[in-house]
């Protein structure tokens, strides 16, 4: 939003950003409800996320969309892994939690698809850029599971 908020793509980016804020608020609520321990790296990931978004936006709209595609690809995979893990436990899982993850996963998939529809694959060095971003996201998730 800081870079592309006032461009023609601004309203679309704002819509995705609003959904992300809703996701975060809901997960913070669920963390309290289940007394889960969030990763100590939340402040680091917040800064990294901002810098990644701003950095790719400075490279242009298509690079920002490529970033969206890369991040959302990893997030959708992570949500699917979480759903699979929850359902394989054999325990009764809170329907609210399952429904929340499914809804947010579907919204992240929409963000991914929106990125593709808005020229992500036309970004310079698309494959390399998205591979690097995916690696960073997967690394952050792996670290966050432990610390």
pLDDT surpassing 80 at residue 83: yes
Model confidence at 1, pLDDT cuts 50, 70, 90, reads confident
CB 55 within 8 A of CB 101: no
Please give the residue that has the higher pLDDT: either 48 or 94: 48
Rounded to two decimals, what is the model's pTM? 0.94
- pLDDT for 20 equals 96
Tens digit of each residue's pLDDT (9 = 90 or more) over 8-22 = 889 999 999 999 999
**Residue 114 CB partners (closer than 8 Å, separation 6+):** 12, 16, 65, 68
Tens digit of each residue's pLDDT (9 = 90 or more) over 89-143 = 888 889 999 999 999 999 999 999 999 999 999 999 999 999 999 999 999 999 9
Model confidence at 84, pLDDT cuts 50, 70, 90, reads very high
């Amino acid at each position: 939003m800081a870079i592309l908020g006032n461009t023609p793509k601004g309203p679309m980016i704002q819509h995705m950003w609003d959904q992300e804020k809703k996701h975060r608020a809901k997960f913070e609520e669920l963390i309290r409800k289940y007394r889960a321990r969030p990763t100590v790296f939340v402040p680091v990931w917040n800064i990294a996320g901002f810098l990644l978004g701003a950095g790719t936006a400075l490279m242009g709209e298509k690079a920002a969309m490529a970033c969206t595609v890369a991040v959302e690809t990893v997030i959708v995979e992570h949500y699917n892994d979480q759903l699979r893990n929850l359902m394989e436990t054999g325990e009764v899982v809170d329907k609210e939690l399952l429904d929340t993850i499914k809804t947010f996963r579907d919204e992240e998939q929409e963000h991914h698809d929106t990125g593709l529809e808005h020229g992500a694959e036309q970004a310079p060095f698309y494959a390399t850029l998205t591979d690097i971003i995916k690696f960073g996201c997967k690394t952050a998730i792996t670290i966050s599971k432990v610390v």
